[in-house]
Chain A
Amino acid sequence: NAGVTQTPKFRILKIGQSMTLQCTQDMNHNYMYWYRQDPGMGLKLIYYSVGAGITDKGEVPNGYNVSRSTTEDFPLRLELAAPSQTSVYFCATHQGQGPQHFGDGTRLSIL
C-alpha cells in the first residue's frame, strides 16, 4: 500500500522555467492538498480539492495551478518559476474527519 506518492523528490529549476509536481494516492480519499514548507517554518496551504473536478485556492495560490481530473491524481503546476518558490512541497490526503496522510515531499530549488 503506497499511500501518497510524490515525484520528483528533488528538483533544481532555473528562473522562468515551468514544471509539474506529481501527487498520486491509492487510498480513494476525496480530499487532497498541496502545502509548501519554507525552511524552519510551518505549512502554508497552496490549493486543495474536495473531489475530482473540484479545486479551490488556499492561502498562497499565486504562481501555482492545479487540476483534479481523477480521484487519484492532484498535480501542482509552476508556470514561471521564481526564487521565492524555493521550498519543500507536500501533498496530503484525508477522508472525512480522519487524519491527513502526507507524501514524502518534493524539495525544489529555483536558481
Chain B
Amino acid sequence: GNSVTQMEGPVTLSEEAFLTINCTYTATGYPSLFWYVQYPGEGLQLLLKATKADDKGSNKGFEATYRKETTSFHLEKGSVQVSDSAVYFCALSDRGSGTYKYIFGTGTRLKVLA
C-alpha cells in the first residue's frame, strides 16, 4: 500500500541556516506530492506541490523536487527565519480503485532560533 515517511523532529536551527526535511514515499501509481505547513494554533496550509516526476514545487523560498528514482520529495530552504518555525507535513495523493487516497506523514517540527 501507499505510505509516506518523513524524518522525525524536532529540528532546531539557527536563523539563516540551510534546511532539509527528508520525505520518502511508496505508491502503486503515479502520485501527486505535497508539503503542508502548520503554524501554532492553526490548521494545515498547502506550502508547495508537484504532480509528476522531476517537477519542482516552490513557495516562500521553500523548494522540493519530485524524484521518482529515489521515491523522495525532500523539502529545502536556503536560509530559514524565525517565522518558519512550524510543523511540516509531507503528503501524497494517489488514485487507486477509482478513488483518490491521501496519505500524510507524521510531521516534522522545526524550531528556528534567533
Contact = CB atoms under 8 A, between A and B. Distances in A.
Interface of A: 31, 33, 40-43, 50, 90, 92, 94, 96-105
- The binding surface of chain A is classed by DSSP as loop
A42 B106 contact: yes
Given A90-B43, A104-B42, A99 B104 contact: no
A50 B46 contact: no
Size class of the B contact interface (CB-based, 8 Å): 20 to 34
A100 B107 contact: no
B51 A97 contact: yes
Given A42-B104, A97-B51, A105 B43 contact: yes
A100 B102 contact: yes
Nearest to B109: A40
A57 to B, nearest CB: 14
